Structure 1
């Protein structure tokens, strides 16, 4: 009996020690950034790499003889969904709150639109159509994350041409790949979504950086959101699980200090590292203003960032930053812009049948900016393209909008898709307006609490510079109806 016990312990230790020699790799990272309004932005990132793996060829779905899936670190439940529907690339975000670009800058994870957003790249050529596989993966992810993703049906699904390029590579099967995208602004992230999120991690919330994911503090933040990204690279299939939040240390502290630490932000500390993590580190963006102290001493300081290595560490970690003086809110709006451009989006009109959609984009740079602009509206909102008006610094400039693509909505079946390219001269403000019509709805088609109105999906803005690569590539602007303010 004693000999058998030693043999079992030896096997367990051997499986842990030999993980580095397997085809799977797990890394975790936590980054902090002090914002100029006193808040702190935190981003958890957990990456699992399945080396030398490729997505399933959709032509093999008809054979129904897929190889058995055996994973050590990669979540089996997610792997089975990807194989079942032959998904090449998948992205899912669940967010609650409104990201303040003017005060917080650009987020680490660009998908910060309110509600749920799901998009996937799939190859054609299967016995099942892409729309059938899209329906299946929506329902499967709804069960996996306890979210209402099944409501992302054909009435919310679009296929934009340019707005969502693949982040990874697409296998060369000689088959065309197609995009399916859907969003639902009324779906938010909560505790029932966080629990299955943690189950996809190899160490769950028992050790490592995931131990800091305390739901009582996460969902008390000013903004929070989680995301899942699965893509294929030449080295293998990569899965990233991310959780972002913006906390307000001034609100939860007893004084006017913007001090923060693991204990103050999450009411937890890291007591032990995740034993299967190849790397585990914490990155703190050092503030460029005031006098402060970072504790404990970082392992390395490079390019204005402090790095902490928690890999295979057994000590208790409570990393934080302290300021000796009280924080003072700025009395006026800072003159220095955090982003190369700023956006404001509104829906005007007090009647129940007409309105006007307005986009105001300010270019804060000297260079001319070309921006891909996408709107995906449910069929209850219809665009009048002949009413498009474009002004640059209050001067009519209709030539600044080009490459317009418009897919008409089909009542009860398909949303509207509007795609165009906006050109912004340096240090200018472009105003884009377009009249819209609000469809008359049957009484059975109104959502609960009809007086509140409808939540409309966010817009998508993708700036492109001909000679600059250091600028953000994606901006998702959050909007609501009936007020639709950014």
Structure 2
């Protein structure tokens, strides 16, 4: 639990389960040996073994994560919509693409999500941005598949199968606080599943993140919160099969009070242990603060980089993709930049411009890799993929702009709500290697320092999604034609039916 300067509270739930001694299946092994499961969920374990998954990351998020006001999240997978990427062993009778199709369809059925829509039009392989983090050495070559669906939303039908992967479900332990009505009422919420192969076995980490606003639900406009007020629940029973259950509340010296008293308190956090503190309803209050006052601008960003990404242009055929990266530190920052756009938007690389303070700086971009949206044998266009390394000078704003052209689609290719437009996936900023003098490794991220004082970002960051407006036919015309045709058919049919079925007789009128 982490209180924020704007009165909100970030709640991050992490559930880790280790399947000891397990190793990813060799895809060349056609027989599936028996695998015994106790706490590790059988439904997910069968999918991992069936498709030879070494590493898997799935996230379902709703809302836009505000890095400047909320800082870096505990789980970096906060891109809007659905994101799925997996490292799979190569070889065997089935190709990587065939197993990728089976994987996303299996996960779609398991989590009740539209992951089957992550077809070849949204699939790419940016291995630099999403490296294999497995610590287990393997002679089997691996391949990456990555896809995102920004229009996918997360709701209760996704949380229910998610909780079924836990040994105690939501009946005991920290998961008792996962009340769907409160979690999905937050300003931002998301679910994620991470599977890693380590030297000890296969580790699964389930994560739920939510940004709650106690001020919005408080009658007195106070930022005081407790488990009962945030989730409408408290923890009344612990999960008996959990090795450890710990609650960590981030604290600072700003006049707050905690109840009940934590077991351990350090300079940054207060810790509660469910093994000895049951029932538990943690509350944080500010006794001297009568009404919470929102911080006024200018705000101090909580992250080294601030990102803005827009799509300019009023034309339905052309536009400009504009990205602004602001360095909030006193040293240069180097970051990787990844764009994966569907084939309905084409980037023109010869129009790329890099500017800092209205001065063109082509020396600040390097290692450019671009894959255009080529037509595949299955008849679908793969997404375009742009990867580059950017260096943002200290206390400066780097502006990147690229001209884009928008496709003219057939009327059968438009989505049901065509007038709304198409959602474009977020861009990704990721750590990269930079040739400086010294380096050290921390938290699976590379931080390089040298005489220049430059550094790289420590984890991935996601930009907001975009909405592109394409040339759209007037879909009301077919309905008008149908209505007119039905009216004419009714008149013609009625007249002919009367002529064929009526009996005509001569009626004599007598005075």
**Following TM superposition, by how much is the alpha carbon of 1:170 offset from its aligned partner in structure 2, in angstroms?**
5.0
Task: Pick from 467, 471, 491 the counterpart of residue 481 of structure 1.
Answer: 467
Does the 8 Å contact 1:88/1:170 carry over to 2?
Answer: no
Q: Distance in 2 between matches of 1:414 and 1:170?
A: 32
Does the 8 Å contact 2:251/2:267 carry over to 1?
Answer: no
Alignment correspondent of 2:264: 300
Does the 8 Å contact 2:252/2:267 carry over to 1?
Answer: no
Does residue 91 of structure 1 match 2:57?
yes
Does the 8 Å contact 1:225/1:244 carry over to 2?
Answer: yes
Q: Distance in 1 between matches of 2:86 and 2:456?
A: 26
Alignment of 1:153-232 (within 5 A): 153-173=119-139, 175-232=140-197
Under a length normalisation based on structure 2, what TM-score does the superposition of the two structures give?
A: 0.85
Please, which runs of 5 or more residues in structure 2 have no aligned partner? Answer: 433-446, 470-511
Alignment correspondent of 2:352: 388
Alignment correspondent of 1:33: 2
Alignment of 1:13-32 (within 5 A): 32=1
**Following TM superposition, by how much is the alpha carbon of 1:69 offset from its aligned partner in structure 2, in angstroms?**
2.3
Task: Pick from 283, 299, 306 the counterpart of residue 320 of structure 1.
Answer: 283
**Following TM superposition, by how much is the alpha carbon of 1:243 offset from its aligned partner in structure 2, in angstroms?**
0.2
CA offsets 1:64-119 (integer angstroms, 9 cap, x no match): x2122221100000000000011010000000001111111111111111100000
- SS of the residue 1:209 aligns to: helix
Task: Pick from 372, 390, 415 the counterpart of residue 447 of structure 1.
Answer: 415
**Following TM superposition, by how much is the alpha carbon of 1:470 offset from its aligned partner in structure 2, in angstroms?**
9.8
Alignment of 1:89-168 (within 5 A): 89-168=55-134
Alignment correspondent of 2:328: 364
Relative to 1, partners in 2 of residues 1:466 and 1:281: Cα closer, same or farther, differing over 3 Å? Answer: same
Alignment correspondent of 1:458: 426
Alignment correspondent of 2:382: 414
Does the 8 Å contact 2:24/2:52 carry over to 1?
Answer: yes
Task: Pick from 282, 291, 305 the counterpart of residue 341 of structure 1.
Answer: 305
Does the 8 Å contact 1:373/1:419 carry over to 2?
Answer: yes
Task: Pick from 446, 449, 458 the counterpart of residue 472 of structure 1.
Answer: 458
CA offsets 1:335-363 (integer angstroms, 9 cap, x no match): x3311111111100111000100110011
Alignment correspondent of 1:23: none
- SS of the residue 1:131 aligns to: helix
Does the 8 Å contact 1:376/1:417 carry over to 2?
Answer: yes
Q: Distance in 2 between matches of 1:112 and 1:91?
A: 12
Does the 8 Å contact 1:121/1:178 carry over to 2?
Answer: yes
Does residue 330 of structure 1 match 2:316?
no
Alignment correspondent of 1:427: 395
**Following TM superposition, by how much is the alpha carbon of 1:469 offset from its aligned partner in structure 2, in angstroms?**
8.4
**Following TM superposition, by how much is the alpha carbon of 1:328 offset from its aligned partner in structure 2, in angstroms?**
0.4
Does residue 397 of structure 1 match 2:379?
no
Does the 8 Å contact 1:250/1:256 carry over to 2?
Answer: yes
**Following TM superposition, by how much is the alpha carbon of 1:278 offset from its aligned partner in structure 2, in angstroms?**
0.1
Task: Pick from 27, 30, 36 the counterpart of residue 58 of structure 1.
Answer: 27
Q: Distance in 2 between matches of 1:322 and 1:365?
A: 33
CA offsets 1:290-346 (integer angstroms, 9 cap, x no match): 3110111001012310000112x4721100201121210122222x33111111111
CA RMSD of aligned residues (A): 1.5
Alignment correspondent of 2:502: none
Please, which runs of 5 or more residues in structure 1 have no aligned partner? Answer: 1-31
CA offsets 1:202-258 (integer angstroms, 9 cap, x no match): 000110001111000010000000000001011111000000000000111111210
Q: Distance in 2 between matches of 1:362 and 1:111?
A: 21
Structure 1 or 2, whichever has the larger Rg, is 2
**After the TM superposition, which segments of 4 or more aligned residues of structure 1 sit over 6 Å from their partners?**
none
Does the 8 Å contact 1:273/1:314 carry over to 2?
Answer: no
Relative to 1, partners in 2 of residues 1:470 and 1:420: Cα closer, same or farther, differing over 3 Å? Answer: closer
Alignment correspondent of 2:478: none
Does residue 272 of structure 1 match 2:272?
no
Does the 8 Å contact 2:430/2:457 carry over to 1?
Answer: no
Does the 8 Å contact 2:136/2:199 carry over to 1?
Answer: no
